[in-house]
Structure 1
C-alpha cells in the first residue's frame, strides 16, 4: 500500500470510500448502500442487512504541488558555504501519485446483531522535492505510513436506534530526511540526516444512528486517538571539522498520539428518488504538539542533539453537503461540495507539509447490475487557498544556524475512486 500526500487535513487521509467520494463525504456517518461508512461511524453496519457483505475500495490521488522561494543562509551554513549558500531553486513537484486501498466486511447475524471489519490507511504523507532545492536544510523527503484494522460490533435496538463499538489496531511508521547543515558545501551535494521510527498502537471507535421519523437519519461517529511508542533511529552523516569523523546512528524512541475524530452526519429523503446529505467533522489535531525524541543507546556523539518533531497544529474542521438521485433501479447519481479548514496555518506551515484550507468539488455514481453486485465511482477536484511558507525568526522551524526560507506554494489535486461491492 502506498500513502501519498495527505489530503484530509494535516496528514490524515480522507479517501476511504469511492461511494462517499462522490458526495464530498456528505452523509458518510449514515446508513446507505455501502458499508464503507463504518470507517466514520460503526453503527451504520446495521444497514448491511442479513448475510455477508464485502467491499473493496481504491482511490488514486493525482496531486501537483510546487514550492518556489528564496533561501538566505545564516550562522554555520553561511560560514561553511563561504557566503554562497543562498538559493532560489524550486522544489519541483513534491507530490507523487498515490494509490490508497480500503476493505470492508460486514455480517448480519440476525435482526439485532451485526459484525464488521474495516482495513484502512488513515494517515499518510509522502513529499519529495528535488535533492538540492532551496529548502533542503528544512526538509528533503517526508514519509508517514499507516495500516489500521478495526473489528466492530453493532446492535440494532429497533428501526429507530442502532449503536456500535470497535477496536483499532494500527501500525504507524515515520521517516523524515533533511540536508545536514554541518556539511554545507558549494562544491558537492550535502548529505542527509534521517529520523525513522515505527510502532503499533491501539484505540477504539463508537457510534450511533437515530431515525426519528421516516426518511430522516442522523449519525454520530467517534474514532479515538491512538497512542504510539515509536522506536527507530536517528542518523547523521559524517561531519568532518565539527568533532565527528564518521556517520553516527542513534537509537531513538518517541511518544506520538494521532488525533481523535468526531463525525456528525444527516440524511433526509426529499422524494422517493432524491436524498439530501450533510456532514460536519471535527479532528483534534491540537493534541499533537511537539514530539520529543529520546536516545535509547546512550550515544552522545551527535553534535546537534536529537531534533524535536514540531507539529503544534490547530483543530481541523470539515463541512460538506450533497445529494444522490436514483436514476433508475440500477443507476444512482450523486454530487457534493465540501470545505476543509486545515489545522496548519502560516505561523507553523513547514516545507514538509505545506497544507492549507481547501474546497472540494465531487461527483460520482453507483451501478447495480444484479441484486448482489454493485460498482461505485467517484471523482473530486480540490482547490487549496493561496499558500505561503515563511520560515524566519518566530517560526517554530527556524534555526539561526541554517537561515530563512520564504516561498509560495502552487497546488491542486484530482482524486479518482472506484469500488466493487458484493453481498452473499
Structure 2
C-alpha cells in the first residue's frame, strides 16, 4: 500500500496538465466566445463575421469596421456562471483498475465558483469615405476553476486553475468599392496561467503548481461582400498565437524555473446577414477552430535547458471544433429591437481526452436579447444565453493521455448561464452626411 501511495504522489505531477482546461467551458476547451458582445450574445453570435452583431463583429472580422459610419465606441460587460460537478461512477482505486480503494472517494463539488466577469470594448473611427481605423479589447481565452471540495478523489488530477488573457487589437478597414471591404488587425495578447494539483492522495497532500505568463502576437484578416441590397457576406481568419510562457514549477520540495511554448488555435469564420423587410433580419454563422494544433506541450527546465524531469510535457490530444449558429432580429419600433438565436457546437473534447476539470462536451446555445436606442447617439444592448452541455465523463483507467496512479471514473452534467450588457456611443453627429453609406449598417 505504501508503494502505491508513493507512486500516486509522484505521478500526480504529470497530471497537472489536466488543469490547463478546467471548468465548465463556455466554448470549446478554454475559449471565451460569450464575453465579446452583449448584442452578439443575444443572438448566439449568428452573423458575427458579416457584421450582424454590431461593433462586436470586429472581434471576428476586421473588415466589418467599414459598416459603421462616423466615430463609434462600445463597452460590454458579461457575467458567466458555469456549473459542473464530477461525481464518481465507480470506486476510485490505486495502482490499477482493480487495486486497493483510495482513502478519499468523494466528488469535486461545483467547479464554477462564483462565476467570472468578462469585459470587452470596440472603437471604430471613419477617417475618409473609404478608410477606417479602430481598436478592440477583450479576453478570447480564460478560465477560473475551483472545486467546492479541495480534497476529493481526483485531487491528483487537479485542485484549481486560473487562465487569464487580455487581447488588444489595433484594426484597419478599407472599403474597396460599394460592395467589397477588407480589414486587418494585429493581436497583442497577454497570457497568464496558474495551475494547482495535489502531490498525493492524502487529504493533507501539498500542492504542485505550474505558473507562467507571456505577451505574444498574432493577426486577423477578413473581407465582407454586399452582392445585393440587404445581403452581407463575411469571411475571416484568425491566426494562431505561439505563447512563450516563462514561469515556475513548484512542489513541496522546491521551485524550478521553466518555460513552455504552446500554440493557441487558429480559426476561420463565415457569416451571412440578410434583411428580409423593414422589421426583420436573419443571420447565419459557421466557425471552425483548429484545436488539434494545441497538443503535447513541452516544459523546459531553464536551469538545465532540457525537459522538466517531473513533467516533460502536457499531453493534450484535441480534435478541431465547429460552431453553427442562426438568429433573427425584429425591429419592434424605431428604438427597440428584439433578437433571438440558437447555436450548436461540436467540442474539441471527447470521452477519450476529457480531464477532470474540462467538463466540456458538445453543447446547445439558446439566446435572447434586445437593443434600445436611448438617444440618437446612445444605445443599450442586453443579452442572455443558456448553454446545455451534454453529459461529460472522465475515464482515468489506463488509456487516458494524463493517466496517473489513481484510477478514477466520474460524470458531470454541466450547464451555463450568461448575461451581458453593452453601451454603444456615437461621438460625432449621426445627422451629418457621410459619403458612401454602407448598404447594411448597425449602430
TM-score by length of 2: 0.87
Q: Which moved more, 1:86-95 or 1:152-161?
A: 86-95
**Which residue number corresponds to residue 359 of structure 1?**
364
Q: How many residues align?
A: 401
From 251, 256, 259, the equivalent of 1:253 is: 259
1:43 aligned to 2:63?
yes
Equivalent runs, 1:148-297 vs 2, <5 Å: 148-181=167-200, 184-185=201-202, 189-237=204-252, 247-297=253-303
**Which residue number corresponds to residue 48 of structure 2?**
28
Q: Distance in 1 between matches of 2:137 and 2:326?
A: 26
Unaligned runs of 5+ in 1: 238-246
CA-atom RMSD in angstroms:
2.0
Q: Distance in 1 between matches of 2:259 and 2:123?
A: 35
TM-score by length of 1: 0.91
Contact in 2 for aligned 1:361/1:382 (Cα 8 Å) = yes
Moved runs in structure 1, 4+ residues, more than 3 A? 3-6
Equivalent runs, 1:2-21 vs 2, <5 Å: 6-15=25-34, 16-21=36-41
Q: Distance in 2 between matches of 1:73 and 1:326?
A: 59
**Which residue number corresponds to residue 408 of structure 1?**
411
Q: Distance in 2 between matches of 1:284 and 1:86?
A: 40
SS at structure 1 position matched to 2:49 = coil
Contact in 2 for aligned 1:234/1:306 (Cα 8 Å) = no
From 157, 165, 183, the equivalent of 1:146 is: 165
Q: Distance in 1 between matches of 2:360 and 2:354?
A: 7
**Which residue number corresponds to residue 106 of structure 1?**
124
Contact in 2 for aligned 1:33/1:48 (Cα 8 Å) = no
**Which residue number corresponds to residue 121 of structure 1?**
139
SS at structure 2 position matched to 1:292 = strand
**Which residue number corresponds to residue 390 of structure 1?**
395
SS at structure 2 position matched to 1:150 = strand
C-alpha distance after superposition, 1:174-229 (max 9, x if no partner): 21111103xx43xx511110111111110001100000011111001211101111
From 131, 141, 161, the equivalent of 2:150 is: 131
Q: Distance in 1 between matches of 2:65 and 2:169?
A: 13
How far did residue 299 of structure 1 move?
Answer: 9.7
Change (3 A) 1:36 1:299: closer
Q: Distance in 2 between matches of 1:235 and 1:364?
A: 45
Q: Distance in 1 between matches of 2:303 and 2:347?
A: 38
Contact in 1 for aligned 2:92/2:105 (Cα 8 Å) = no
Contact in 1 for aligned 2:189/2:217 (Cα 8 Å) = yes
SS at structure 1 position matched to 2:50 = coil
Contact in 2 for aligned 1:172/1:200 (Cα 8 Å) = yes
C-alpha distance after superposition, 1:21-68 (max 9, x if no partner): 111000111225721110000100011102x21110011111211110
Change (3 A) 1:161 1:208: same
Contact in 1 for aligned 2:23/2:111 (Cα 8 Å) = no
Unaligned runs of 5+ in 2: 1-21, 428-443
SS at structure 2 position matched to 1:7 = coil
Change (3 A) 1:190 1:47: same
SS at structure 2 position matched to 1:249 = strand
More helix by share: 2
From 110, 133, 136, the equivalent of 1:93 is: 110
Q: Distance in 1 between matches of 2:352 and 2:322?
A: 18
How far did residue 131 of structure 1 move?
Answer: 1.1
Q: Distance in 2 between matches of 1:350 and 1:33?
A: 34
Q: Distance in 1 between matches of 2:413 and 2:162?
A: 20
Q: Distance in 2 between matches of 1:195 and 1:307?
A: 12
